[in-house]
A and B are shown apart, each in its own frame.
Chain A
Amino acid sequence: MNDKVHIFDKPQNVRRVLWALVAMCIATIGADFVYHRHIVHPWEGVWGFYAIYGFVACVVLVLVAKELRKLLMRAEDYYDRDG
């Protein structure tokens, strides 16, 4: 099909999105230097707590889920077959 070129067909646009994300990461974690969040629990007060926790949580989530596939994954028609 003769398709027109869309926005994310260009690799430089994808790179721009990624750089924008990096810029937002730096900006929001940098805000921790200047803005003092009021806290309910001492853990919240640790510098960059939410940022680091969010990043680590997602990486752990994906890595564990990937390992779980070995345990849980079956063929698509698993329940349709006689077993």
Chain B
Amino acid sequence: MVELPPFVLFYLAALAAAVLPRRARQVVMLAVPLVGGLALMNLAPDLLVRVAFMDLYLEPLRVDKLSMLFGILFHIGAFIGIVFSLHVDDRSQHVAALLYAGSAIGAVFAGDLLTLFLFWEILALTSAFLIFANRTDRAWGAGMRYLVIQVLSGVLLLAGALMLYRHSGSLAFNHIGLNGAGSFLIFIAFGIKCAFPLLHNWLTDAYPEATPTGTVFLSAFTTKVAVYALARGFAGTEALVYIGATMTCFPIFYAVIENDLRRVLAYSMINQIGFMVVGIGLGTALAMNGAIAHAFNDVIFKGLLMMSMGAVLHMTGRINGSDLGGLYKSMPITAGLCIVGAASISAFPLFSGFVSKSMVMVAVLEEGHPGVWLALLFASAGVFHHAGIKIPFFAFFSHDSGIRTTEPPLNMLAAMGLAAVLCVFIGCYPWVLYELLPFSTGYAPFDGSHILAQIQLLVFSAAAFAWLKVSGIYPPELRSTNIDVEWLYRRLAPRWVRHCTQGLTAVSDTLGQATQNASRVVMRSVVRHYGPEGALARSWPTGSMVLWVAVLLAASLILYYL
């Protein structure tokens, strides 16, 4: 039997969704991740499908524990996202979402760099439509910036892959490691999609501008494909430990002062990816397991938080902390589900974040990076502060905004409920997830010391929030924009270009003036000589001509005798 790569099913469904009427489309969309998930279970472990393409060998399907785990994860993420967006009556969004999910799945099963590149670019293109679908000027601008940066990442990946191919004669996507220019280009390509510091701003710029349902898909796939690619290609690269530690720390400052709650979650997403990047940088079995398990959990709990904020945006039309508050009165179920997501991202024991993040924390100490460990601990307290408390507090509690609404549509509640059940299930039965991880480490998450330490950290972080809030020190939510790296390309560069073009205009103005002046002088002299009054235009009497001829002859005679 010919093994069908799992992405094919999603692409076919996207084709079907493009033509089918609404009801049939919904059925197809719900069926795809379920059928695809079952088909996934039947794939032989260590399967490798190889096709010859011109002189190259491409591997559109490579199955191992790492790709399988991400494959399963993306099927779950796609299912949750599809249930959440079922009520949306927008064909283009559904088609884009299916193609996008399919490309993410295609990317993690790609065995060579060229196939990876293809999915990498389709991922960029299809996801941009989930941003454009908001159909506002802001979304259009943010989507275009997003697309440019994502395509740039793909171009770097292709350039790096070709350089590696020239060097080694192989396109296979295995461990790459940082050596040589080609590998460096690929590292940056992955880094852009992974939201490395300074390369991160596309994420916080674009994700909050997508549709309420689109952001749920966006938060599941792009960055997790990048985490997968880093885990495959750059495990044990020490630079990643420090890059990751920076990623955990700097976004939480932005998250505290950001008003748009979906943007708060976007910053918190960079923070969570930071933990994964640190784990990948350490490269030990425990650290890698921790990083990958955390990617798995993050798709679900970040999805849950994004969904709860999407539900709030869908029902109230508002997403700024300064406009919201008191929604627990009219959306109690959504509030409860949001709190489950908040507890999971904050790594409360018995919620999913705890069983994966603690692996990275332990590995960091065991590998002798106490400074990095302190940074991650700071970030852990910080994530509880901004994602665990701030999100539910300002949306559902805080001062009553006076908004009265109802619970979101049933499909939205069902998707959030499913994600919440998974968060608690993995938090209580982590062994199910651990079975899927690439290494067996015998790690025991529920150890008294870890649990007590984590509870102390969280309870006292909550106390700090309560104290700052009660004493009035906590900064209020303000309608504002906080400038970030994007300022360079949204303000500085345009300003600089305008300045340069103004300079050029000045030069061309001067040149134009000078040419005009010069031509005026030339014209004036032409007019003087040839004009109606000009010496050369006068009619000459024959006598004077004879006189001049005589002068010339005399002159030549004199010259001859000299």
Which A residues are within 8 Å of any B CB, using their own CB?
Answer: 1, 3, 6, 8-9, 18, 21-22, 24-25, 28-29, 31-32, 35, 37-41, 43-44, 48, 50-59, 61-66, 68-69, 72-80, 83
Contact = CB atoms under 8 A, between A and B. Distances in A.
Interface in B362-389: 362, 365-366, 370, 373-374, 377-378, 381-382, 385
B444 interface: no
Contact of B456 (A29, A56, A69, A80): A29
Nearest to B482: A72
Contact of B491 (A1, A61, A77, A79): A79
A62 B453 contact: no
A44 B453 contact: yes
Contacts of A28: 452, 455-456, 459-460
Contacts of A79: 481, 490-491
B12 to A, nearest CB: 40
Given A57-B382, A62-B464, A72-B257, 13 more contacts: A6-B328, A21-B466, A24-B459, A29-B456, A37-B449, A37-B452, A37-B453, A40-B362, A43-B374, A50-B377, A58-B381, A68-B253, A78-B481
10 contacts: A25-B460, A37-B449, A40-B365, A44-B453, A54-B459, A54-B464, A58-B385, A58-B465, A62-B385, A62-B473
A20 B373 CA distance: 30
Interface of B: 138, 252-254, 256-257, 328-329, 362, 365-366, 370, 373-374, 377-378, 381-382, 385, 397, 400, 402, 404, 448-449, 452-468, 470, 473-475, 478-484, 490-491, 495
A48 B281 CA distance: 30
Contact of A73 (B256, B257, B377): B257
A73 B465 contact: no
A25 B448 CA distance: 17
A32 B490 CA distance: 51
B483 A78 contact: yes
Contacts of B482: 69, 72-74
Given A65-B256, A73-B257, A51 B456 contact: yes
A52 B478 CA distance: 30
9 nearest CB pairs, A to B: A58-B464, A37-B449, A65-B256, A54-B457, A54-B460, A50-B456, A57-B381, A55-B460, A51-B456
B370 A43 contact: yes
B483 A3 contact: no
A18 B470 contact: yes
A9 B325 CA distance: 12
B416 to A, nearest CB: 21
Contact of A41 (B373, B458, B464, B474): B373
Given A54-B381, A54-B457, A78-B481, A66 B475 contact: yes
A79 B329 CA distance: 35
Which residue, of A18, A24, A55, A78, has the highest number of chain B Cβ atoms within 10 A? A55
Contacts of B328: 6, 8
Nearest to B137: A80
A75 B491 CA distance: 14
A51 B483 contact: no
Contact of A31 (B400, B452, B454): B452
A61 B480 contact: no
Contacts of A64: 253
A56 B381 CA distance: 10
Which residue, of B257, B362, B490, has the highest number of chain A Cβ atoms within 10 A? B257
Which residue, of B253, B328, B460, B473, has the highest number of chain A Cβ atoms within 10 A? B460
A28 to B, nearest CB: 5
A57 B481 contact: no
Contacts of B454: 50
Given A73-B478, A79-B490, A55 B463 contact: yes
Given A18-B466, A72-B482, A54 B452 contact: no
Contacts of B464: 54-59, 62
A50 B453 contact: yes
A42 to B, nearest CB: 9
A29 B149 CA distance: 47
B475 A65 contact: yes
A66 B256 CA distance: 8
B460 A41 contact: no
Contact of B257 (A3, A54, A69): A69
Contact of B252 (A51, A53, A61, A76): A61
B329 A6 contact: yes
Contacts of B257: 65-66, 68-69, 72-73
Contacts of A50: 377, 453-454, 456-457, 460
